[in-house]
Amino acid sequence: MPQEFWRWIESRWTAPDKEWRSAKVITAGVDVGSVSSQAVVMTDGELYAYSNMRTGSDSPNSATNAMNRALEGTGLTLDKIQYTVGTGYGRVNVPFSQRAITEIACHGRGANFLYGPTVRTVLDMGGQDCKAIHIDEKGKVTNFLMNDKCAAGTGRGMEVFADLLGISINEIGDLSLKVEEEPPPVSSTCVVFAKSEASGLLREGWPKEKVIAAYSSAMAHRVVSLLERIGVEPDFAITGGIAKNVGVVSRLEKELNIKALTPKYDTQIAGAVGAALFARELVEKGK
């Protein structure tokens, strides 16, 4: 079987010092995205376990798989979770959730929890769309914006490039920074156009790192225009898979002239964390 360069690393985590049996409220959030699915379990409003997996062709299954993976080895079962909120692209397809909340609200809330109350601007660079969100100190959304329909400047675009260049997606960010001189950005971030433009550049003899640098800066540039619309107020946090790509993040920081906060956890779990936090609030309100 040929190597699949786009395959990113799945992850799973359990809090080393927590015991779910002594928790009063156990809630969960499941974020079924177009590319990845995450399940987060929280005990009394604190992170207990999470998993981050690829979404398959079947959303209900992806949600169940992510949940099973998060619960693995903890002894915790689905019936002990008091409330589950689904979010993301496949939010209505989470079979064990009691409610669906949009990823906009969840990412705002999740970023507030993961990066602290000083975060005002959240950029979610997801698998197939980008969202710019402005939040207040409680993580409530005050202004948001998403692009209409396009995978330009998203994780899926990066996967396509990894495949085209034959470089693992986990190394592509570092590689793009190895250019001596920053090349001009590719003229379109549209994945299809950019891919054919990149093929042309490769044929002209451009090294791979130069091509990926040109794509990364086009991607950063596109997102900056989205962010400028809502205004970038510090602190600034990036969530989603592209937040792990230093090539895009560093170019974005340079163009915006602002540093993004450094994540403590997997950047892809923000939506699911927000969902689990909403679930806890809904339990407390008795809804």
Partner 1 sequence: MIANFGFKDGSGEFFISLDTDKCNGCGDCIPACPGSIFEVRDEDPNDPFREIPVAAVKESERRKIKYTCGLCKPVSDHPPLPCVGACKAGAIAHSW
Select from 115-123, 137-145, 161-169, 182-190 the region that touches partner 1 (CB under 8 A): 137-145
Is residue 144 at the binding interface for partner 1, with CB under 8 A as the rule? yes
Q: In the set 140, 254, 259, 264, which binds partner 1 (CB under 8 A)?
A: 140
Of 105 and 123, the one with the shorter C-beta distance to partner 1 is 105
Is residue 181 at the binding interface for partner 1, with CB under 8 A as the rule? no
Q: In the set 101, 111, 201, 242, which binds partner 1 (CB under 8 A)?
A: 101
Is residue 142 at the binding interface for partner 1, with CB under 8 A as the rule? yes
Is residue 113 at the binding interface for partner 1, with CB under 8 A as the rule? no
- Name which of residues 240 to 279 contact partner 1 (CB under 8 A): 278
**Closest separation between CB of residue 281 and partner 1, Å?**
7
Which DSSP string do the residues of the chain spell out, in sequence order? ----TT-PPPEEEE-TT--GGG-S-EEEEEEE-SSEEEEEEEETTEEEEEEEEE--S-HHHHHHHHHHHHHTTT---GGG--EEEEESTTGGG-TT-SEE--HHHHHHHHHHHHH-TT--EEEEE-SS-EEEEEE-TTS-EEEEEE-SS--TTSHHHHHHHHHHHT--TTTHHHHHTT-SSPPPPPS---HHHHHHHHHHHHHTT--HHHHHHHHHHHHHHHHHHHHHHH---SSEEEESGGGG-HHHHHHHHHHHT-PBPPPSS-GGGHHHHHHHHHHHHHHHTT-
Select from 56-64, 69-77, 134-142, 192-200 the region that touches partner 1 (CB under 8 A): 134-142
Of 44 and 281, the one with the shorter C-beta distance to partner 1 is 281
Binding mask 206-225 for partner 1 (x = CB under 8 A): -------------------x
Binding residues (CB under 8 A) for partner 1: these are 99-102, 104-105, 140-150, 225, 229-230, 278, 281-282, 285
